[in-house]
Amino acid sequence: MSQDAESPYRTIRVTAEPSGFGAEIVGLDLAHPLSKGALAEVKAAWARHAVVAFPDQPLTLDQLEAFTQAIGPFGEDPFIKPMPGHPNVLELRREPDEKATNFGAGWHSDWSFQQAPPAATLLHSEVVPPVGGDTLFCDCVRAYEALSEVMKQMLAPLMAVHSAGRAYGTQGVFAKETARRTLQIVVSPEADKSLTHPLVRTHPLTGRKALFISPVYTVGIEGMTPKESTAILGHLFQHMTQDEFIYRHRWRPKMLLMWDNRCTMHFAEGGYDGHLRLMHRTTVAGDVPR
């Protein structure tokens, strides 16, 4: 990582990845309310780098909720039972003896099947296993910008079809799961519904365009045959997940990570069987993709 010298901050210190995608922010105590200026700097750094980590932040659930609401109102988290007494917090716990696939093991942008998907997801590490468990992020802005002008023109009017059916539907992965899972997932016919979003969306803050699709939740392209959709989406997914567009986040205990679902997708790696992994997650409401 390199120190961010182009945008001076008065309150925070930002150390960014060489590509500018992904950064670490220090100089704050998130257990207490931030000043107006500090909060503005955090939001500016988040908009610029898309994925920002705050190390050494031992937060209670109340403090995690308070910081989340400083970023924006809570988003809606369907198909997963929240923590008792904390309806906006999901506990992502995987016990050492669990055999089920780790949660989030597929490239996706959180809840993109919603009419207004969440702008941000926040994940706080309580127990980090000694091996595995990295989270990979794809920079959907740079992936889009690397496409040819001919491809950009072709994609511009397309509407992608999103659905939660493959994961949470009545015939989805979790409906067929037989291994015990600590995380309480609710399979529902509601997940089988679908809607469309622009395949290329414009970020409401930065104005930059990004590919807004993912292998988990994007099930087709409006007006195209399944074969046509599969060919185009398959090409784009292969393009987006090239190493040059990927940031690998390595977790440390008591770290808070916040990412922008409007211009990224992510993948939760496993590799920590036999070890406890415990995280707490919140989301911030977003807007309708345009």
Bridge partners of 108?
266
Structure tokens at 3: 């120190």
pLDDT at 8: 72
- The whole-number average pLDDT for the span 17-42 is 98
Q: CA angle at residue 79 from 226 to 230, to 5 degrees?
A: 15
Q: Per-residue pLDDT tens for 135-153?
A: 999 999 999 999 999 999 9
How far, in Å, CA of 234 to CA of 229, rounded?
Answer: 8
Q: Per-residue pLDDT tens for 32-88?
A: 999 999 999 999 999 999 999 999 999 999 999 999 999 999 999 999 999 999 999
Domains of the chain, by residue range, sit at 2-284
pLDDT at 2: 56
What is the share, in percent, of the chain residues with pLDDT greater than 90? 97
pLDDT at 118: 98
Structure tokens at 234: 């398959």
Closest CA to 229 of 221, 237, 218: 221
Active site amino acids: 108, 110, 266, 281
Closest CA to 45 of 32, 57, 27: 27
Q: Per-residue pLDDT tens for 184-223?
A: 999 999 999 999 999 999 999 999 999 999 999 999 999 9
Judge residue 224's burial from the number of C-beta atoms within 10 Å of its C-beta, 0-12 exposed, 13-18 middle, 19 or more buried.
middle
Mean of all residue pLDDT scores within the chain: 96
pLDDT at 6: 54
How far, in Å, CA of 19 to CA of 247, rounded?
Answer: 9
| CB neighbour burial string for 96-118, b if at least 16 within 10 angstroms, e if fewer | eebebbbbbebbbbbbbbbeebb
- The whole-number average pLDDT for the span 27-35 is 98
pLDDT at 1: 62
Q: Where are the beta strands (DSSP E) in 114-199?
A: 120-127, 135-139, 159-163, 194-198
pLDDT at 105 over 80: yes
pLDDT at 4 over 60: no
How far, in Å, CA of 216 to CA of 176, rounded?
Answer: 16
CATH topology (fold) of 2-284: Double-stranded beta-helix (3.60.130)
Q: Per-residue pLDDT tens for 244-256?
A: 999 999 999 999 9
